[in-house]
Amino acid sequence: MIELRTAARRDRRTVAHVLAVSFAHDPVVRWLLPSGRGDEAMFLALARYSHYVAGCSDIAEIDGRPVGASLWDPPGHKQSTARYIASGPSLLRAMRHRIRQANALETAFHKNRPEGTFWYLALVGAVEPGKGIGTALLQHRLDTITGPAYLESSNEANIPLYERFGFEVTGEIHLPFNGPTCWKMYRD
């Protein structure tokens, strides 16, 4: 049985590990870090500095073993200057010579976000696809929030999952430097 709980600050390394395993074959992650080296460090930096808002991250467990995680930003969330500066060394170590791609990704995502305020699903992943873990994580959070939500799907295969929760594709983002396509998805 899948058990869900809100991730605490002390869970950031667990969240990063789960996401690194979950995104091991993701087109955008493999474009950013082709060798796979740095995956966990990148997700730790994202969980620690970019997308950590108390009460907005979840962990899914089966028999006490972490099998899924999600990171959400609440409406109006902006990474503070201090957190942005603090994230620099961690992201540079993780990204190494791929920092140009990482900057292009962030620029493209920010440029393409819709107007207004909304819940932003930064990341959701399951170490065992097809077992309902992602569904449980999405259902859990969407049941607790009000207002619109937005995400960028980095894998076309995941679009039907998001559509089941009322998200609709609103456009595509074609990443530079021979990068993959991402799909903008919005839910009223």
Structural domains counted in the chain: 1
pLDDT at 141 over 90: yes
Q: How far is it, in rounded angstroms, from Cα 150 to Cα 118?
A: 7
Q: What DSSP designation does 11 have?
A: G
The one-letter amino acid code at 176 reads P
pLDDT band at 162 (very low <50, low <70, confident <90, very high): very high
52: pLDDT strictly greater than 90: no
Q: Please tell me the pTM assigned to this model.
A: 0.95
- CA distance linking residue 124 with residue 134, whole number of Å: 7
Q: Residue 123 — pLDDT band, cuts 50, 70, 90?
A: very high
78, pLDDT greater than 90: no
pLDDT at residue number 149? 98
DSSP-assigned letter for residue 49: I
CATH number at residue 27: 3.40.630.30
Least confident of 84-93, 114-123, 162-171: 84-93
Q: Which domain holds residue 64?
A: 2-187
